[in-house]
Amino acid sequence: MKNVEALISDADGTLIDTVKLIRYGQYETAKRYLTKHGIPAGEIPEYDAYDVLLAQSVGGPARETLEKTVRLLYEQSPHHLDGMDFDELHNMLNPVQDDIAQEFVTAYEGLSEMLYALGRTGIKLAISTSGTPHHVVRNFGIALPELGMSTLYRDKSKTDEEKLGMFIDTVSDTYNLPGFTIVTANDTHKHKPYPDPFELGMQRLGVTPDRVVVLGDHKIDMHTAINAGVENRIGITHGFDDRETLEAGGATRVVDSLDEMIDLLAS
């Protein structure tokens, strides 16, 4: 990859494996809320049935995904949706996921090595995620134990923004990154596939689209890169979408692992 100054990467499904955390966490949250809302037990689906609908909804902020999935679930019985408070549903998510995160969050093989490679090659990094600062600190803190931040997300003495700032500083120093920023769901009014998150990442890093490569596991990442004017779009197959879906979504290259990304960075 010649003349590349920065990498913009998705987080979940790309750098860290949070698929089970997202799926089981959202299901358990929905199940608890639907029970509280008064839905009969026989009309609350088992995990496998809920997961099919979740797969159709995932890609945006967690609140949006939860609402879309529940609306799909009761599309044929809309009376169950009467009086539902989707903000309350979303507010139940973090405590559920926090309790299971240590079990379900892992780094994809090669993540630490890729971060060190970015530092060695002088390539800046922007992580663009549909998650919140809390999610970023929790998931990456667990996935990268060398940072010594695996329990920071439980620290009640600091705000989520303060913890995110600590995380950014620690990552920058640990991997000697020449530039590092994280764009969360809180930072833009419009989310993927709108270009706003990627454009903000480029603005913060001081780079232009022709000097950027995007990495993502979902076709929405490819659509976002196209909308942001980024021509170098790499899909990775260990997350949500397969090679064919990524290529159809606009990936100009597809890799199967972060180790392959390290080879590309070295070239």
Apex CA 213: angle with CA 208 and CA 264, to 5°? Answer: 140
Pairing of strands 232-236, 212-216: parallel
Tokens 């995380």, located at residue: 167
Contact call for residues 242 and 37 (beta carbons, < 8 A) = no
List, in sequence order, the alpha helices (H) in the chain: 19-37, 47-57, 62-73, 86-91, 93-104, 111-121, 133-143, 160-175, 196-205, 219-227, 243-249, 258-266
Share of the chain above pLDDT 90, in %: 92
Which distant-in-sequence residues (6+ apart) come within 8 Å of 69 by Cβ? 26, 30, 50, 53, 54, 56, 57
Task: Kindly report whether the peptide bond that precedes residue 95 is cis, defined as omega within 30 degrees of 0.
Answer: no
DSSP state of 215: E
pLDDT digits (tens, 9 = 90+) for 126-169: 999 989 999 999 999 999 999 999 999 999 999 999 999 999 99
pLDDT digits (tens, 9 = 90+) for 17-34: 998 998 999 999 999 999
Mean pLDDT of 4-22: 95
Share of the chain above pLDDT 70, in %: 100
Mean pLDDT of 197-214: 98
Rounded CA separation 12/131 (Å) = 9
Mean pLDDT of 73-88: 96
Q: Residue 1: what pLDDT?
A: 64
Reduced to 3 states, what is the DSSP secondary structure of residue 139? helix
Average pLDDT taken over every residue of the chain: 95
Backbone angles phi, psi at 158, to 5 degrees: -125, 150
Mean pLDDT of 61-81: 94
Question: What pTM was estimated for this model as a whole?
Answer: 0.85
In this model, does residue 44 exceed pLDDT 80? yes
